[in-house]
Amino acid sequence: MHVHFMNDSEGSDDEEHVREPASAKSAWSEAPCVPRGMSDAEMRPETRMMRGEDLPYWASHWAGTKGAFTKIPRHGLPPMYCKQQIDDYHSMDFNERLNTSSYVNVVFEPEEEQVALMGMKINLADQTVYPNSFKLHNDVVNMIARLWKCPKPSDFAETEAYAGAGTVGSTEACLLAGLTLKFRWRKWYMDRFGCNEDEVRGVYPNLIISTQFQACWEKFFKYFDVKPILITPSSKDFKITAAQVKEAIDDKTIGVVCIMGNHYGGQYDPVWDIDKVVEEVNKAKNYSVGIHVDAASGGFIAPFQAELPPWDFRLKNVLSISASGHKFGNSCCGTGWVVWRQREGLSEHVAI
C-alpha cells in the first residue's frame, strides 16, 4: 500500500480532514505526504482518510483500489503508484545479489544499465529504421562466432555477419537450433526416401540428448513434435558416451545435442568423441546427422580452457552452438545467442 504521512504543515485546511495527533508528529515529521512535483491542492482530491490502530494517516485513494492490477483499468493509474506496486512485489522477493542458484548475473556497471534503458526504445526487428542498432547486433554475433571458431561464411563480404542471432536466453537459441536440425533432416529424408512434404510431415523424428538436459528441451519435444531419445549418463561422471550415441542413431534422427556444462555439476559431454561416431555413422549409412552444442553454461568458459580438445566449430559435424549470456557471459537476464556453421539451408529470418 502506498501511504503518505502528513504533518501539520502539510495537512489540508478543510475542517473535515483530521490532523494527526501531536504525539505522532515528531515520528513522521520527515515523511513526505505529497508526491514529488505535486502540490497539496493537486493531491487533496486524490487522498482520503484511513485510520490505523493508533495513528490516523493519509494515503492516495489508489492504495485502496481493489483489483487495480488484475484487469486493465478504465483510466490509467499514476506512474508513481504503479512503480510503488512493483517495488512492493520486488521487496518481497529474495535479494537478487545473494542469488547463486539460478545462473543469472545480477551485478552491472552503471553504463550497462544506461545502455539497457536505451535499448528499450529500439525495435531491433525493424532493420530499415534502426540499421546501426542492427549492426551492433551483428557485431556481437560476430564476436561470439569467432570465439567458437566458426568458419567465415561464403557470403561474409556481402552480409558482414556470421549466421547467428541474439535470443531471449538460451531457451530461444536451443529452440531455433532444434528447428533448424528438424527442417534439415526433413529435406534429407525426402531425398532419401522419395517423399513429398506432406508425407515427410507424417514421420516422427527424434533427437538424441542426455537426461541432464535443461528444461527448454522439454518444450522443444512437446511443441515441435520431436521424440526425445534420452541417454542416461554414468553416475560417476554425468557424461554421455560416443558408444551410447552411436547405438541410438537411426534414419529418423535429426541430430545429437551435446551439453557443455550441465546444470547439475557443470560436466561437458565429450563432443570430440561424439563427432567421430557421428561421422562414422553418416558415412556408413549415408545419413546426415549433425550436432548441436548446448553451451548454455560452458559457452563462455570452454573457449578459455586450453586443455580441452576441440569441441566447437572446429569439429566437422557441429552445425550450431548456443549459449546463455546471463550465466557466464556477464550480460543481463534474458540474453542468449545461437550461431550456425553456415547460412545455407536456414530460413531467411532464422539467422537474423
Kindly tell me if the per-residue pLDDT of 2 is higher than 50: no
- The mean pLDDT of 221-246, rounded to a whole number, is 96
| Per-range mean pLDDT, top range of 15-19, 101-105, 117-121, 284-288 | 284-288
Greater pLDDT, 94 or 46: 94
The pLDDT tens digits of the residues spanning 179-212 come to 999 999 999 999 999 999 999 999 999 999 999 9
- Is the model more confident about 102 or about 17? 102
Which pLDDT belongs to residue 190? 97
User: Would you place residue 126 in the very low, low, confident or very high pLDDT band (cuts 50, 70, 90)?
Assistant: confident
Predicted local distance difference test score (pLDDT) of residue 280 = 98
Please report the pLDDT score of residue 352 as a whole number: 54
Per-residue pLDDT reduced to its tens digit, 272-317: 999 999 999 999 999 999 999 999 999 999 999 999 999 999 999 9
Question: What pLDDT is attached to residue 14?
Answer: 41
Mean pLDDT estimate for the chain: 82
pLDDT at 50: 43
User: Which pLDDT value is given to residue 97?
Assistant: 74
Full-model pTM? 0.79
Poorest-pLDDT segment among 19-23, 87-91, 232-236, 340-344 = 19-23
pLDDT computed for residue 7 by the predictor = 42
Is pLDDT at 233 greater than 90 in this prediction?
A: yes
pLDDT tens-digit readout, 64-111: 666 677 888 787 888 888 888 888 888 888 777 777 666 777 788 899
Q: How confident is the model at residue 326 (pLDDT cuts 50, 70, 90)?
A: confident
Please tell me the predicted confidence (pLDDT) of residue 58.
Answer: 58
For the chain, percent of residues with pLDDT exceeding 90: 53
Band the pLDDT of 349: cuts 50, 70, 90.
Answer: low
Indicate whether 62 pLDDT > 80.
no
Per-residue 3-state assignment (H helix, E strand, C coil) for the chain: CCEECCCHHHCCCCCCCCCCCHHHHHHHCCCCCCCCCCCHHHHHHHEEEEECCCCEEEEEHHHHCCCCCCCCCCCCCCHHHHHHHHHHHHHCCCCHHHCCCCCCCCCCCHHHHHHHHHHCCCCCCCCCCCHHHHHHHHHHHHHHHHHCCCCCCCCHHHHCCCCEEEEEHHHHHHHHHHHHHHHHHHHHHHHHHCCCHHHHCCCCCEEEEECCCCCHHHHHHHHCCCEEEEECCCCCCCCCCHHHHHHHCCCCEEEEEEEECCCCCCCECCHHHHHHHHHHHHHHHCCCCEEEEECCCCCCCHHHCCCCCCCCCCCCCEEEEEEECCCCCCCCCCEEEEEECCCCCCCCCCCC
